[in-house]
C-alpha cells in the first residue's frame, strides 16, 4: 500500500525526476508559465511553492537551499528578486493549473502552470 507516500514517481529514476522538476520550475520562473502534462504540473507545483516560500524568507541560507534544489543561480536570483516579493501578503497558493484538454498524439491531459499574480517578464530578456 502507498498510504502517506507523497512522491509522484512519473516513471523516472529519482535523479531524473529531480532534474526534470528543477528544470520545469526554472522554466516557470523565467517564462512565467509553462505548458506540460497534468501529473508533471502537479509535481512541479509542489516544488515551485516551496521555492517561493524560501524566496520570501530572503536569507542567505534560504538562497543556498534554493540553489541546491534548482541548480540554476540565475533562476534563483529571479525568484528572490522578482517572484517572491509579489507574494509577500499571500500565505500560499502561488501557482495555478489551467486545463487545456487532451494532447492529440497520446491523449495526455495538458495544462498550463502559471503564477497566480501577474508578473511582467524582466527587462533583460
Cα(115)–Cα(125) distance, integer angstroms: 18
- Per-residue exposure over 67-92, b if at least 16 CB sit within 10 Å of its own CB, e if not: eebbebeebbebbbebbbebbeeeee
CATH code for the domain in which residue 73 is found? 3.90.1030.10
Cα(52)–Cα(76) distance, integer angstroms: 10
Question: 121 lies in a domain?
Answer: no
| pTM of the shown model | 0.90
Give 10-residue mean pLDDT values along the chain (125 residues).
Answer: 92 97 98 98 98 98 98 98 96 97 97 86 53
Q: In what order do the strands lie in the sheet with 95-102?
A: 33-37, 109-115, 95-102
Question: 97 lies in a domain?
Answer: yes
Question: 120 lies in a domain?
Answer: no
Question: 7 lies in a domain?
Answer: no
* pLDDT tens, residue by residue, 96-114: 999 999 999 999 999 999 9
How many structural domains comprise the chain? 1
Q: Which domain holds residue 63?
A: 14-115
Amino acid at each position: 500500500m502507498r498510504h502517506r507516500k507523497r512522491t509522484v514517481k512519473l516513471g523516472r529514476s529519482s535523479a531524473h525526476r529531480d532534474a526534470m522538476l528543477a528544470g520545469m520550475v526554472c522554466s516557470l520562473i523565467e517564462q512565467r508559465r509553462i505548458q506540460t502534462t497534468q501529473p508533471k504540473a502537479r509535481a512541479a507545483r509542489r516544488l515551485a511553492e516551496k521555492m517561493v516560500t524560501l524566496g520570501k524568507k530572503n536569507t542567505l541560507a534560504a538562497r543556498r537551499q534554493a540553489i541546491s534544489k534548482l541548480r540554476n543561480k540565475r533562476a534563483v536570483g529571479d525568484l528572490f528578486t522578482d517572484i517572491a516579493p509579489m507574494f509577500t501578503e499571500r500565505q500560499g497558493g502561488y501557482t495555478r493549473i489551467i486545463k487545456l484538454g487532451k494532447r492529440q498524439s497520446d491523449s495526455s491531459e495538458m495544462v498550463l502552470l502559471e503564477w497566480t499574480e501577474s508578473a511582467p517578464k524582466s527587462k533583460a530578456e
